[in-house]
Amino acid sequence: MTDTRTPRAMPAAAPVKQSAPPRAGRLRRARSVTVPAAVLLVLALLPYSAVEIPVLLDGPVNSPGSLQLFALCLVFGALALGYDLMFGRTGLLSFGHALYIAGGAYGTQLAMAELGLGLLPAALLTLVLGTVAALVLGAISLRTLALGGVGFAMVTLAFAQAGAIWVERNPGGLTGGEEGLPLYTDGVPAALVGVQNTVHIYWLALAYLALVATVVWIATARPVGRVWQGIRDNEQRVAVLGRSPFAYKLGAFTLASALALLGGVLHLLVTAGATPHTSTSEFTLTLLVMAVLGGSGTRWGPIVGGVLFTYLDQRLGGWNLGVEPMLILGALFVIAVYAAPGGITALGRRRSS
């Protein structure tokens, strides 16, 4: 006898609950926010400390000399991190990064002195024009990658050398030649002029470091950052997956150059002048050393390398060791490379693993 009853509907499957992320992952994400915030808070409160540290500093922590040294260290930490966006994250070895740092310093200085602009409009004008120039020069330089990475390095070096020659020749008295240009204080707010306002320069340098770190860390954590890493590891695989390595490399180059232009403005304010040294290829090599010293391609490495290298570069000369500071820095760099091949920050990761 046939059963004519309507078959009972099968109960709907209960929705699968996605498991919560592991506790280690949650802690890692929380630490990625709380640690930078804590460091930023400590650095922001540093000018309120009158602690004296003999040998390491010539005066109290909040003295103008100490704060200017700290500001310079922060600026170079940010510059090294911006440079590492190309070198450590994308695999682009540029020898012409100094061109954009010098462009930020000299461009802002000339916009204030020659065009009568204030600091902010002059910096914005320099940033816009410099970024457009970086886009064009970057596109030209990246086309040489068909000849290999050395071709890109040499073309960027050629552009930087052209800029350095232009600065040294002092056309029309615009660049000051080998002596550089003192800061045009008439275009700078009074709160950023004078020894008594060094603390404001320090906070401005700290804000610049926070900005660069935020931009670099967010960009590298997003899909574009993973594409950059893929280009560094295997560019052909990225092309096979339908991505354009040229477009992504040009984006990294332009972003790093824009951050360098802004860094040039900060360097102008911290050192109270535009110096021809910022336009030389040696300046770019210094940034490369900073990134490698701290740990290229890592979150904190370039910042640590930039701060440490700048501090030693500024302080070794005052310790009267009887040896050229650059010789000591070179020896320390060699020792650091052998002791920590992945950079100084790699030592902490080894201990924790």
**What is the DSSP-derived secondary structure letter of residue 197?**
G
The chain-wide mean pLDDT, for the chain, equals 88
| Range scoring the smallest mean pLDDT among 13-17, 23-27, 219-223 | 13-17
User: What is the pLDDT confidence band of residue 147, given thresholds at 50, 70 and 90?
Assistant: low
pLDDT at 1 over 90: no
CB 274 within 8 A of CB 109: yes
Which tokens is 223 given? 């899909």
pLDDT of res. 62 = 93
Which burial class, exposed, middle or buried, applies to 148 when counting CB atoms under 10 A from its CB (0-12, 13-18, 19+)? exposed
Domain limits of the chain?
64-316+323-343
pLDDT at 6 over 50: no
Sequence length of the chain is 353
Query: Rounded to the nearest 5°, which phi and psi values hold at 60?
Result: -60, 160
Select from 222, 91, 195, 191 the least CA-distant residue to 149.
91
Span 64-316+323-343: which CATH code? 1.10.3470
pLDDT of res. 351 = 52
pLDDT of res. 21 = 56
Residue 273 DSSP SS3: strand
Give the number of C-alpha atoms closer than 13 A to the C-alpha of residue 262, restricted to the C-beta side.
21
Average pLDDT estimate for 10-21: 48
Average pLDDT estimate for 223-241: 92
Place of tokens 């695989």: 237
* pLDDT one-digit tens code per residue, 254-295: 999 999 999 999 999 999 999 999 988 899 999 999 999 999
pTM score: 0.89
pLDDT at 12 over 60: no
User: What is the pLDDT confidence band of residue 119, given thresholds at 50, 70 and 90?
Assistant: very high
